[in-house]
A and B are shown apart, each in its own frame.
Chain A
Amino acid sequence: MIDPLNLVAILLMAAVTYFTRVGGYVLLRNRTLSARATAVMEAAPGCVLISVIAPAFVSDRPADLLGLAVTVLCATRLSMLPTVLLGIASTGAARYLLG
C-alpha cells in the first residue's frame, strides 16, 4: 500500500515544505525592520495572493474570464461568503452557456 520510493518522496516534500513555513519566522523573529523593509513586508501578502491567482486573469476560456469579472466585482462590495457563492455560480453558469 505504501511504496518505499513514494514514501521517500513524500517525506522529503514534507521536510522542504516545513522548512519554508518556519524559515521566514526564524529569520525575522527578533529583528526590527527598517521603514523601507516594513513597506516591503506590508505589500508582501497581497503580492503573494495575487501571484497565486494570476493565471485566472489570463485564462483562454471566455467563460472563465466572465466568471472572474463577476467575482472581482463582488469582492469589491460583498463579504466573503456571498462573493464565493456568486463567483462559483457565475463561473459554473458561464461555462455551461459558453462552454
Chain B
Amino acid sequence: MTIIQAPALAANAGATTGSEFRRGIAACMPVLLGIVPYGLVLGAQAARKGLSGLEVPLMTGLNFAGGSEFAAIQLWSSPPHILLIVAVTLLVNSRHLLMGAALAPYLRHLSKRKAFASLFFMCDESWAMSLADSKERAATGTSLPAFSLPYYMGASLAVYVAWVAFTTAGALLGPVMGDIDALGFDMAFPAVFLVLMRGMWTTAAAARPWLVSLVVAAVTHFVLPGAWFIAAGAASGLAAAYYLAGDA
C-alpha cells in the first residue's frame, strides 16, 4: 500500500490549482461517455414536449440535475403543472441533502461563500469522485486539506458544460436523431456508479445497508410510479445502517 501511495503523496505536494483542476477533468472523462448520449436524449424529449432551444439550456443550466429533468419532462404539458413538476424535482433531488451532508466534514476549510458557490455544481458523479478522492488523500497523511476544491470543480464543470451543451444539441437536433438508446450508452451510469462503490467498499458487513437500499429501491420501482424508488431506497439503507451500528 505504501508503495502505491507514495507517488500520490509526491503529486499532492507539487500540485497546483491548475493541475488539480485538470486532474478532475481527466477523472471525469469516462463519465462523459454516459452524459453525452443521455443529454442528447433529454434535449430531444424536451423538444418533443414543446420546450424551445432556449428553454432547454435554461433548465439544464440552472437546475443541472439530470434525473429530475427527465422526470419533469415526462410530466411537462402546455401550460405546465408547475406544482407537480416542482414536487417531483424535490423528490428526485432529495438525495442531494444526504450527499451534501456526507461532504460537509470535508468542506470545513472553505469559506461559506466558496462552499455555497461550489455546491451549486454538485452532481452524483463529481460528488462521489471527490468523496473518494478526499478519503484517498486523507489516507496518505498529507498536510493539505483532504478535499481538493479544484479537483472537484474540474470534475463538476466538465459534467456541467457537457450537460448543458448536449441537452441543447439534443433539443436542436432531436427531430433528425435516431434511437441511440439501442447502442447501450445508458449502461455508462451503472458502470460508473458500480466502480465508485467498489472504491467505497470496506467489508461485506459494512455493505449490508447497500443491499437493503438495492432491494427496497428495486421493489419500490415496481410498486410505485415515478421517482419514489430513490428516496425509499436511500432512506431504508440509512435506517439499516443506523440499526446495524447499534449492534456493534
State the A residues within 8 Å of B (CB).
Answer: 1-3, 5-14, 16-18, 20-29, 33, 35-36, 39-58, 64, 67-68, 71-72, 74-76, 78-81, 83-96
Contact with A along B10-51 (1 / 0, CB 8 A): 000000000000000001011101100000000000000001
| Beyond known contacts A33-B105, A51-B217, A74-B191: 19 more, CB 8 A cutoff | A9-B72, A13-B68, A13-B85, A17-B68, A20-B95, A20-B97, A20-B100, A25-B115, A44-B98, A47-B210, A48-B213, A50-B210, A52-B189, A75-B198, A76-B198, A84-B192, A85-B33, A87-B187, A87-B191
For B128, the chain A residues whose CB sits under 8 A away are 45, 49
Q: Could you give 29 example pairs across A and B, Cβ below 8 Å?
A: A3-B55, A5-B79, A9-B82, A9-B86, A12-B86, A13-B89, A17-B64, A24-B101, A25-B100, A27-B104, A28-B100, A28-B104, A39-B248, A40-B241, A44-B99, A44-B234, A45-B99, A46-B197, A46-B210, A48-B95, A48-B213, A52-B67, A53-B190, A56-B187, A74-B191, A83-B30, A84-B33, A84-B34, A91-B184
For A29, the chain B residues whose CB sits under 8 A away are 104, 107-108, 115
Listed residue (A16, A22, A84, A95) with the most chain B CB atoms within 10 angstroms of its CB: A84
Q: Which residue on chain B has the smallest CB distance to residue A25?
A: B100
State whether B101 touches A7 (Cβ < 8 A).
Answer: no
For B238, the chain A residues whose CB sits under 8 A away are 40, 43-44, 47
Contact with A along B161-197 (1 / 0, CB 8 A): 0000000000000000000001111111111111111
For A80, the chain B residues whose CB sits under 8 A away are 27, 30, 191-192, 195
Of B1-9, B119-127, B142-150, the segment with at least 4 beta carbons within 8 Å of chain A is B119-127
A7, A14, A76, A84: which contacts B188 (Cβ < 8 A)? Answer: A84
Write the nearest CB–CB distance from A5 to chain B, whole angstroms: 5
State whether A51 touches B237 (Cβ < 8 A).
Answer: yes
Residue B90, interface by CB 8 Å: yes
Listed residue (A51, A85, A90, A92) with the most chain B CB atoms within 10 angstroms of its CB: A51
For B27, the chain A residues whose CB sits under 8 A away are 80
User: What's the interface size class on B, roughly?
Assistant: 35 or more
For A17, the chain B residues whose CB sits under 8 A away are 63-65, 68, 89, 93, 96
**Once bound together, how far apart are the Cα atoms of A64 and B182, in whole Å?**
10
State whether B195 touches A47 (Cβ < 8 A).
Answer: no
State whether B96 touches A39 (Cβ < 8 A).
Answer: no
For B196, the chain A residues whose CB sits under 8 A away are 45, 49
Residue B139, interface by CB 8 Å: no
